Amino acid sequence: MGIGTSELLIILLIVILIFGGRKIPEIMRGLGKGIREFKDAKEGNETASKEDSEKTPPKA
């Protein structure tokens, strides 16, 4: 029940017709940048929370 090769080709054709060949690289670049920023923020938050817990003395 997944997406087969023919369905992917049809979707790709529709995307090319809608956005055009020049716009697709811009869209993919923006998508990649967004994913990278999300991962960096996620890793940064985890690192920051670990650093904060190590710096803060435990409450007695």
- Residue 29 falls inside a structural domain: yes
Q: List alpha helices for 20-58, DSSP H.
A: 23-55
Q: What is the reported pLDDT for 6? A: 92
Which residues does 33 contact at the CB level (< 8 Å), separation at least 6?
A: none
Q: What is the reported pLDDT for 49? A: 52
Residue-range definition of the domain harbouring residue 28: 22-47
Nearest to 28, CA basis, from 12, 43, 10 = 12
Q: Global pTM?
A: 0.47
For residues 17 and 47, which has the higher predicted lDDT (pLDDT)? 17
- Residue 32 falls inside a structural domain: yes
pLDDT for 2-37, tens place per residue? Answer: 889 999 999 989 988 888 888 888 888 999 999 999
Angstrom distance (rounded) from CA 10 to CA 18: 12
- Residue 42 falls inside a structural domain: yes
pLDDT class of 50 with cuts at 50, 70, 90: low
- Residue 55 falls inside a structural domain: no
- Residue 10 falls inside a structural domain: no
Q: What is the reported pLDDT for 38? A: 92
Domain count, the chain: 1
